Amino acid sequence: MKDILVTGGAGFIGSHFIEYLLQTTELRVTNVDVLTYAGNLRNLDFELPDHRYRFFQEDIHQMSEEVFDRTYDCIVNFAAETHVDRSIEEAEPFLHTNILGTFQLIQKVMEGKARKLLQVSTDEVYGSLDEGEAAFTESHPLMANNPYSASKASADLLVRSYFQTYKLPLLITRCSNNYGPKQHPEKLIPKTIEKAMRNEAIPIYGEGKNIRDWLYVEDHCRAIYSVMQAGQPGEVYNIGGHCEKSNLEIVNMILEYLGKSKTLITFVPDRLGHDFHYAMNWTKVHEALGWEPRVSFEEGIAKTIEWTLEKTMNRN
Ligand SMILES: Cc1cn([C@H]2C[C@H](O)[C@@H](COP(=O)(O)OP(=O)(O)O[C@H]3O[C@H](C)C(=O)[C@H](O)[C@H]3O)O2)c(=O)[nH]c1=O
């Protein structure tokens, strides 16, 4: 492998993935990102070697010929609208980017402009675990419950259909909730940290009992890299943290770390269609590719909070 096209590389996970590729491999990276509200070139604040990195501010629906002056060994698709609450307010951008955008990338593989595509997806496509169900395996039915997860599930089905129909080399990873430095403050963990630092009310939806399975972003990037290198076309790989926590537990841990009062917690009306419980069974990726998470939640959350404190100090 020599050339990788990363879409959405100025976003949270995409930018960490580019950092991982540039620092641990000799691969050449092309980053295509349209820079919506969630993409920011400041996320790429590490050394970007000119001979191995280039950036195009373009939409994945209309990529220029310049981007395709080479044949990519793999496209890794991070370009997506990702925030569930926004999708509940306005679904259309989610359908446009997440479904039709993925379709455009599949076309690039069809046209021979890339040798394979890795679609970065989410555990949300499985819906919510039923009582008594321990974790999602890759064969769990797709039961998306909100417009965001429906758009990701639709993209996954498109990818599957192009593998089944044309035997195109397409793969899917589905990961649980990520956290780490540079995450957009609309998401639970960065939002809680920032609000706690400012002594502002921290909104918890419903009773705060909903459970997510948390994974530090660098562990996710390593998993994607393993699948990109050695995953089997047509396969789906679940990725998760074995780290199930309720939202209230998460918020309490952050408040404790920062030495802030629990009175900042403010219960607000629940998210519509709020999935109760996600947890991933990632035995397959572990057995096939030897991946497992390395960063404990205690370590990861400390790094994330310290990064946010430092960022805020530098801003002031
Ligand atoms: C923003 C916010 C969230 N929450 C609750 C709602 C969820 O139960 C939990 C996490 O919410 P968040 O919006 O951070 O993430 P999810 O809805 O789980 O979805 C995230 O993880 C998956 C895997 C993706 O695929 C999504 O792209 C990603 O956004 O905290 C609150 O209680 N208050 C808040 O202010």
Per-domain residue ranges of the chain: 3-245+272-310
Instruction: State residue 297's pLDDT score.
Output: 98
Q: How many CB atoms lie within 10 A of CB 310?
A: 11
Whether residue 316 is predicted with pLDDT greater than 80 in this model: the reply is no
pLDDT (tens digit, 9 = 90+) per residue, 242-269?
Answer: 999 999 999 999 999 999 999 999 999 9
Q: How far apart are alpha carbons 128 and 83 in whole angstroms? A: 17
Instruction: State residue 20's pLDDT score.
Output: 98
Q: Are strands 53-56 and 244-246 parallel, antiparallel or unpaired?
A: unpaired
Whether residue 277 is predicted with pLDDT greater than 80 in this model: the reply is yes
pLDDT (tens digit, 9 = 90+) per residue, 83-129?
Answer: 999 999 999 999 999 999 999 999 999 999 999 999 999 999 999 99
Exactly one of 19, 33, 81, 123 is catalytic; name it: 123
Instruction: State residue 1's pLDDT score.
Output: 87
Q: How far apart are alpha carbons 132 and 122 in whole angstroms? A: 21
Instruction: State residue 313's pLDDT score.
Output: 83
Q: How confident is the model at residue 315 (pLDDT cuts 50, 70, 90)?
A: confident
Q: Domain spanning 3-245+272-310: which superfamily?
A: NAD(P)-binding Rossmann-like Domain (3.40.50.720)
Asked casually if ipTM beats, i.e. exceeds, 0.85, the reply is: yes
Does the predicted TM-score (pTM) go above 0.95? Answer: yes
DSSP symbol at 114: B
Which atom number of ligand 1 is nearest to the Cα of residue 205? 32
Q: How far apart are alpha carbons 292 and 280 in whole angstroms? A: 12
Instruction: State residue 314's pLDDT score.
Output: 86
- 170 with 121: CB under 8 angstroms? no
Q: How many CB atoms lie within 10 A of CB 200?
A: 12
Q: Are strands 211-216 and 244-246 parallel, antiparallel or unpaired?
A: antiparallel
pLDDT (tens digit, 9 = 90+) per residue, 153-202?
Answer: 999 999 999 999 999 999 999 999 999 999 999 999 999 999 999 999 99
Ligand 1 mutation pick, 77, 136, 212, max ligand atoms within 8 A of CB: 212
Q: Is the CB of 33 under 6 A from ligand 1?
A: no
Residue ID of nearest Cα to ligand 1 atom 26: 82
Instruction: State residue 233's pLDDT score.
Output: 98
Give the CA distances from residue 276 to residues 15, 40, 190, 204, 294, in Å, rounded to whole numbers and listed in that order. Answer: 29, 31, 21, 14, 26
3-state secondary structure of 30: strand
What value does the mean pLDDT take over residues 11-34?
98
Instruction: State residue 243's pLDDT score.
Output: 98
Give the CA distances from residue 112 to residues 80, 108, 185, 242, in Å, rounded to whole numbers and listed in that order. Answer: 23, 6, 38, 38
